[in-house]
Structure 1
């Protein structure tokens, strides 16, 4: 069943992608192939041992440019795609997947993720019956736009990722935990990650996180020193946020509007505002949340509903930040005390 978490009618925007989840359990090879094609790519899928029936299971969540699927076949299969139109990561939870991509042989395991880039195909020699993996599809245009925003200049894609990265330490561990958290939230129908304002920022975090987790030709540029944005540029970003606080801004988008790189804008905000761009946006949204708490709609508004509507995914942290800023709890404001 398709599960769609919708934002509050008074703050939802038509241009904000709605997160979606889907679960499948099929035993027919053609049905499994069709599901993989719909959510990923056109694939060739074959049983390697006809004595063991297929038991395909897929639990999927799509947040705009990022699709994460928990995939199991329950039988030994060979799977491959002749053409990839997106970046892709295989992150096994159990078992291993050996594959060939652009002439390189890679073995993905729970300790090492395999990375594939658009253009050429990828083929797994054998996906064993006991293997379970997160298959992560990342939209090409979105990832390359995120990289351009971070480095502050045009790039020539595709990004030449290394064939794999370590998921046991550093940025690779962080990114794998982000992917696994998103998968685990499939079991929570009221997850904050499925609220559109939160989902958009989480997906953007996965894009930038992947760029820091992997080796590629722009890796050094991501960590090089950049001068901060000037106060005029910072003021421009502030004006944009305050004029449209319900828009799902990201640092990358604000940087494009201000005409600087994302890292320069972050440094400019740190120096001249004392907050990151996203922290400042939350500051603005908290002010609007307070107004809703002070003037609630009877029978509809609760602290949790208002917090989630304005993009605050963790109710406890929202309440603590609210109390620190306004000197009272959100529930006290709601009660008019």
Structure 2
């Protein structure tokens, strides 16, 4: 599912060539060709690319995205970031959407970036907020505050390290993609945040909850997100969360975990599993130890005990 790319080079032309595979509007305006060192690592998913690279060179670069959204963090010497003629705090991540962003540094820099397909991001954001007219333009390039910036850094570290091992698992990759996108849209002042503030759906018929449950049970082994469940239920994800809290005193995500736990438990009982870890992964649990804890809390037995009994 995910495509991993690694590049090691000492040629300045390789820098722009590789970068533009992921962001066509990226440019190296100026670069010192002496003593170049370039180390690139990326994971390309449908609608998301996770990029990390180190570039040893004094550089003036620019990026302009049109059909994409990008959030980036650069760590370097004598670093300056400007977006639309505005200076951005180089100690924090920044977002690129409609205006050109320029970066200047001397010596070397480490770059981390999340690049999203804009149309897919808008689809997810519309379902999450219930606003079918939401358009992801006019993103403020600077994060809302220090805590939001810190949260984005943590999210990038979690997503990049997790995708390195589970990029071929559709369920887990979809969850990581959603987490990366919504964290990014919450880090900066975006139309998504405005729509979340406007969304005050507090009423939903129990039929909505029943529809969501039926959808979860039918699609539990697929890469299911909260937005998928909400769309199938005819309500925003925020409204669905309130409906579940009122009707069942739980969340849709917690309920989905129970459905998957039940399916995994049944598979262990009928003896079709190769291993407990196999079952856990098949039902969307990234950690076998975490799956074992959930199973033990719910059924009072370790999953390995159940597998041996049957």
Q: What TM-score comes out, normalization by structure 2 length?
A: 0.89
Q: Secondary structure of 2:28's partner?
A: strand
1:325 aligns with 2:307: no
Corresponding residue of 2:97: 117
1:272 aligns with 2:272: no
Relative distance call for 1:279 and 1:235 in structure 2 (3 A) is same
1:128 aligns with 2:103: no
CA distance in 2, matches of 1:178, 1:197: 18
CA distance in 1, matches of 2:179, 2:116: 12
Relative distance call for 1:84 and 1:177 in structure 2 (3 A) is same
Q: Secondary structure of 1:128's partner?
A: strand
Corresponding residue of 1:6: none
CA distance in 2, matches of 1:330, 1:37: 47
Kindly indicate whether structure 1 or structure 2 has the higher relative contact order, using CA contacts under 8 Å at least 6 residues apart. 1
1:209 aligns with 2:183: yes
Corresponding residue of 1:175: 152
Shift of 1:203: 0.8
- Segments of 4+ in structure 1 off by > 4 A? 93-97
Contact persistence 1:77–1:128 (CA under 8 A): yes
Contact persistence 1:90–1:108 (CA under 8 A): no
More helix by share: 2
Corresponding residue of 1:227: 202
1:138 aligns with 2:106: no
Q: For 2:62, which of 64, 75, 80 is the aligned residue?
A: 80
What value does the CA root-mean-square deviation take over the aligned residues? 2.4
1:101 aligns with 2:83: yes
- The answer for unaligned runs of 5 or more in structure 2 is none
Q: Deviations over 1:123-172 (max 9, x none)?
A: 32x23333112022122112212221222122342332212116741x43
1:164 aligns with 2:146: no
Relative distance call for 1:83 and 1:117 in structure 2 (3 A) is closer
Q: What TM-score comes out, normalization by structure 1 length?
A: 0.83
The number of equivalent residue pairs is 309
